[in-house]
Structure 1
């Protein structure tokens, strides 16, 4: 089995992270293609992309979905509670950015708890509402967590947005993410990578700070 490759790309005013995850052999997925996807698309080239996995439906995480979908015809997956966000600039907050984001209806609607097979690797879907109703995290092979805006290094995503809920976010992090092994690597929607153990030690409730 070839080693896993996780390549980050940072885009947009909010410096959102996108990730191309592959073993260069059996699978390739893109997580949260952001607003400016040129560099990401160049990196992908002609390789086959199996899935476009979305952690939630805010514009800074879905801005590149339409272009990537057109190029690769990869299946787009998002939590069912935010399927409408893809085609609604008010829900995905892009109406306030001056560049409305509109994507097609997703191919896969997730609930949380699913296990998605990616080549020789498995991805567990964890529903973590709070930053948004359909926020989800993807746990790859029980060791790599793509956390979107649920958990960042030393921070959490904001809940002072439409449909945000601070208490739900706290419960999601404490009950679903902090129960993971300390050595699980966390790849967030903004900022640097971290580990669950480090966040349990330093990213403390109730005085936890939000990203913005």
Structure 2
């Protein structure tokens, strides 16, 4: 269960090149010693930036955020803050801190169950296959899903021109990718799921709907 934390500054504006700090407090009810920072840009899903220790403010996991080297954690009087030393236009977003509320039961990390399969989608056109990678039943419920492909021994990221849809819920996350059928004949697509610093790779067999 999520708990409400305290962010003193809801709107901050800085010029390009300046620094900015966003505070996060009220972490007492968190069930363990860790808190998370997230970034939310318009038209995009939430992206986790890093996990940090709520007492020391030390960063524990940076995950795979595309701007991960731009962010740092800073200890302040009433908690910790997210700091950007050199602000750029592409940092424009909403930033949230969050943790999981303590309860009567114990909490342990549970790795995700990963399912990779073709699915039917409304946007699929003739000659395309929609591949879904679904991660579910994990704890904490925060994962990062990405696709890559392999031909023989050569491995490479899935091409940027392929359309992709991201879906997320309270207990599961999924990424659906549209791939040309002819491409599936030449490449094996692999779903990579990152959870709590551990990566799991699941390949998909060539198939069409």
Band of TM-score, shorter chain: under 0.3
Bigger relative contact order, structure 1 or 2 (CA pairs below 8 A, ≥6 apart): 2
Greater Rg, structure 1 or structure 2?
2
Answer 1 or 2: which has greater helix percent: 1
Answer 1 or 2: which has greater strand percent: 2
